């Protein structure tokens, strides 16, 4: 039996409320030449039973049950058992339209990775992100990647917005960073881009991303782990940008990471040990030169004062943290999402290419 054209890898964890909708949308693709790999990552609800139920009805569905180890370990298992010529990923609480794979199939020739848009769903209301069409190779990719990194949804930082050539993944032993629960998609994609040479962008937006209920990413992160994950972005990014840290792609990523780390510090500065804070301040200073100040939100003050020694910087953060947390408690649960977090989570205004 020949290998399927597409392998779709779905990590599943406590997703019984959504998993049927997800699987139904996958089995109803207009392209039947596919395998669906459901990796049950130690779910404590009925998700595993639902996966087995579907596998009993459709030979294209494979189910792997494992102890809970996180989304990265689940995706790595999916990669290891996949047989398809092309790899796609879906989250268990999301869905796709019937033409999701068909539109990828139209664009497979002469490329290594394909991007498409998505519908970003918040509380049942969807925002459709349609991308411009491109085919680029080599150094020309960087400008397009900068555009993709800037569109709403930050589509560079998600596996579900792409279709990857599986031979490149296998030949280069590309895996997700296990025990990592933030930016693992971005790190994986950057590693892929380093060893690939061409990409396409298509207009179709067939993926429905439930942004208001992201079960895979909603968790609190330990300071040491988070800093390790954040710094892990910049090694492959630097290689991809050929060492040019003033490139649009590097500066865009650096700006968003500066914003995220600033927000994280404001919320957690009181609970962090001195040596950990020193490492964070050092990381912020390493990014400062390449940050686009015009794209920074309310944490511009951190950029302006990041040259100060630890003691002064710490006082500024504590003062700002006190004011921020006081306002948050004063206004109650409906306090709007901090502007420091918005660019990282949602992307900034739509990018443009001349």
pLDDT tens, residue by residue, 252-271: 999 889 888 888 887 777 77
Residue 212 has a pLDDT of 67
- Selected residue with higher pLDDT from 308 and 157: 157
| Eight-state DSSP code of residue 294 | G
Q: What is the DSSP letter of 200?
A: E
**Which residues in the chain belong to E strands, given as ranges?**
6-12, 34-41, 61-66, 86-89, 95-96, 113-115, 118-122, 125-129, 134-137, 162-165, 198-201, 207-210
**Taking all residues of the chain, what is their mean pLDDT, rounded to a whole number?**
84
CB 218 within 8 A of CB 210: no
- What pLDDT is attached to residue 123? 79
CB-CB contact of 41 with 13 (8 Å): yes
Q: Which long-range contacts (CB under 8 A, 24 or more apart) does 103-106 make?
A: 103/202, 103/204, 103/206, 104/6, 104/163, 104/202, 105/5, 105/6, 105/31, 106/202
What's the pLDDT tens digit per position in 299-317?
Answer: 666 766 666 666 767 776 7
Task: Please give the pLDDT value at position 115.
Answer: 96
232 in Cβ contact with 176 (< 8 Å): no
Least confident span in 14-23, 185-194, 278-287: 278-287
Residue 1 has pLDDT above 90, yes or no: no
Return the higher-pLDDT residue of 310 and 12: 12
SS3 call for 130: coil
Q: Tell me 133's DSSP state.
A: P
pLDDT in tens, 266-291: 777 777 888 888 888 889 889 888 98
Asked whether residue 81 carries a pLDDT value surpassing 70, the answer given is yes
Q: Which residues pair with 136 in a beta bridge?
A: 199
∠ Cα 306 266 183 (to 5°): 90
Residue 311 CB neighbour total at 10 angstroms: 8
Going by pLDDT thresholds of 50, 70 and 90, the confidence category of residue 179 is confident
The answer to whether the CB of 261 falls within 8 A of the CB of 242 is no
């Amino acid at each position: 039996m020949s290998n399927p054209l597409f392998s779709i890898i779905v990590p599943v964890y406590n997703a019984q409320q959504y998993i049927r909708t997800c699987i139904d949308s996958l089995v109803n693709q207009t392209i039947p030449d596919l395998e669906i790999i459901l990796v049950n990552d130690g779910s404590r609800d009925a998700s595993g039973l639902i996966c087995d139920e579907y596998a009993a009805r459709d030979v294209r569905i494979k189910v792997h049950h494992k102890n809970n180890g996180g989304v990265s370990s689940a995706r790595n298992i999916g990669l290891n058992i996949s047989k398809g010529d092309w790899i796609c990923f879906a989250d268990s609480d999301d869905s796709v339209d019937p033409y999701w794979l068909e539109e990828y199939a139209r664009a497979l020739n002469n490329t290594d990775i394909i991007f498409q848009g998505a519908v970003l769903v918040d509380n049942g209301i969807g925002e459709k992100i349609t991308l411009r069409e491109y085919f680029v190779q080599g150094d020309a990719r960087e400008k397009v990647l900068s555009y993709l990194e800037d569109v709403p949804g930050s589509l560079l930082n998600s596996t579900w917005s792409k279709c990857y050539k599986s031979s490149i993944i296998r030949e280069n032993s590309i895996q997700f960073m296990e025990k990592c629960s933030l930016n693992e998609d971005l790190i994986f994609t950057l590693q892929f881009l380093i060893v690939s040479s061409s990409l396409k962008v298509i207009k179709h937006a067939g993926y429905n991303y439930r942004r208001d209920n992201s079960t895979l990413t909603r968790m609190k992160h330990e300071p040491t782990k988070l800093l390790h994950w954040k710094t892990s972005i910049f090694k492959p990014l630097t290689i991809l940008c050929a060492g040019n840290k003033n490139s649009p792609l590097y500066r865009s990523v650096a700006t968003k990471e500066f914003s995220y780390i600033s927000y994280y510090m404001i919320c957690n500065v009181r609970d962090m040990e001195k040596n950990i804070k020193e490492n964070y301040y050092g990381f912020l200073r390493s990014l400062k030169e390449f940050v686009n100040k015009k794209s920074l939100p309310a944490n511009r003050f951190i950029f302006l004062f990041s040259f100060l020694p630890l003691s002064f910087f710490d006082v500024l953060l504590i003062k700002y943290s006190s004011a921020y947390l006081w306002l948050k408690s004063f206004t109650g649960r409906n306090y709007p999402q901090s502007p420091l977090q918005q660019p990282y989570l949602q992307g900034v205004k739509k990018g443009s290419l001349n």
